[in-house]
Amino acid sequence: MNELWRLSATELAALIRTRRVSATEVAQAALARLEAVNPALNAVVEHRPEQVLAQAAGVDAALARGEALGPLAGVPVTTKVNVDQQGFATTNGLRAQQDWVAQHNSPVVDNLVRGGAVLLGRTNTPAFSYRWFTSNLLHGRTLNPRDPRLTPGGSSGGAGAAVAAGIGALAHGTDIAGSVRYPAYACGVHGLRPSLGRIPAYNASSPERGIGPQLMAASGPLARSVADLRLALQVMSAADARDPWWVPAPLQGPEVPKRVALCLRPDGLATCPEGVAALLDAARRLRDAGWQVEEIDQLPPLREAVELQKRLWIGDGYAAQWAAAQREGDPGALAALAGQRALAERLDANSLPATLTRRATLVREWQLFFERYPVLLLPVSAELPFENDLDLQGEAAYARVWEAQMTQIGLPLMGLPGLTVTTGLVGRTPVGVQLTAARFREDLCLAAGEAIEAGGVPAMPVDPVSA
């Protein structure tokens, strides 16, 4: 049983609950896997083995007493360094925050603990969690276990690399512009960005977030199976009064027709041939599973949503963000902000209320779209996963990256859920597709995702490969 780290969260939870294996055995296997492969990846940047084993021992003791435990009892889960975990620094990839030690857990971490999860370690993120590439001056660079020449994604690049390499059965990530969905795509795993208000958020260690992150950022799980994402969502979405945006929406919505819209090139996005092939294959898999799939050319505004999203994410408070990035001196963060300077300079005192007003119109148009098509199948990115640091290779490369990520940036403006399903490999480069649905209809994304997953996915977990 020394390869327990290979099993899914669902499998591990069942084995532990029925006491066929102990949580301690699972934790020992997870720690051994971490020690074996993390030096080659730098996915986990801090972990405390004695605490991991103590958590697992607590699960075993509770089971021996006959206590009812949560759905993730004994399952090893990593958390991202931009959320509060008691006793650990909430660094967000910054030297400036290496002493911001959390006194309390964030709501999502508390929910994981109450669900029985064993917190295995803290995963890396780019400075300020700005980029689709994961490196910073504090923790260093994270590599993609499938190909170190490729980005592991960002900002939850450590989470994606960890799950793909078998460091934990589940990983916590956050997503304001693809930061769960893109690492899943790049590392060849699955990742769910839930709706606004689904998973509670709050970091007591940090200043209150601006209105853009409040409306658009979400915590979500990365995993090696869609079933594990569903299990993680159940646990992570429990109520917490610290988040005023949390909504007590049911995890299972009303029955709707199994109808999917397929859009290969949303708003003129130049989707690469490999991406188009993956989408067409996913559509075939859905049809084989009894879904009706209709290819369409026109969606509600998505390019406009990207521009509004960038105003709220980067434009609002730009001067303060730029000053903080200069103090940190991180090349990636400085490049990310410098590329949006022109957008920020166009904004004035009326821009924020005008953006929020227009956002309401776009939310309405997308909600009406989902009345006709309950699920939308579209690209995760216009390109296969990028080579490392492509966004630092000049203005044209920067623009290319931001254009390719259009669907990832735009959907959060409306608070919509998004699911990346990995579907295959091009050589050793992962490829996959994205599903979205109306707000709080993660259940539809997951149901369609399972139908696509059933048609085949890349082998996982994997041993890290060398260049």
Active site residues per annotation:
80, 155, 179
State residue 252 phi and psi, 5-degree precision.
Answer: -115, 120
Is the distance from CB of 88 to CB of 101 less than 8 angstroms?
yes
**Burial (CB count within 10 angstroms: exposed 0-12, middle 13-18, buried 19+), residue 75:** buried
The helix (run of H) or strand (run of E) holding residue 120 is: strand 118-123
- Please name the residue that has the structure tokens 């299972």: 252
- Catalogue the long-range contacts made by 33-36 (C-beta closer than 8 Å, 24 or more residues apart): 33/5, 33/165, 33/166, 33/167, 34/120, 34/121, 34/167, 34/168
**Burial (CB count within 10 angstroms: exposed 0-12, middle 13-18, buried 19+), residue 37:** buried
Q: Considering only the C-alpha atoms of the chain, give the largest distance between any 2 of them, rounded to a whole number of Å.
A: 63
The tokens of 313 are what?
């994410």
- Closest of 280, 200, 258 to residue 437, by C-alpha: 258
- Please name the residue that has the structure tokens 């090139």: 265
- Closest of 289, 294, 299, 234 to residue 448, by C-alpha: 289
**Distances from the Cα of 40 to the Cα of 188, 303, 390, 467, angstroms:** 18, 38, 21, 11
User: DSSP state, 394?
Assistant: -
The strand pairing partners of 378, in sequence order, are 434
State residue 7 phi and psi, 5-degree precision.
Answer: -80, 155
The tokens of 161 are what?
């690399």
User: DSSP state, 391?
Assistant: G
Is the distance from CB of 62 to CB of 56 less than 8 angstroms?
no
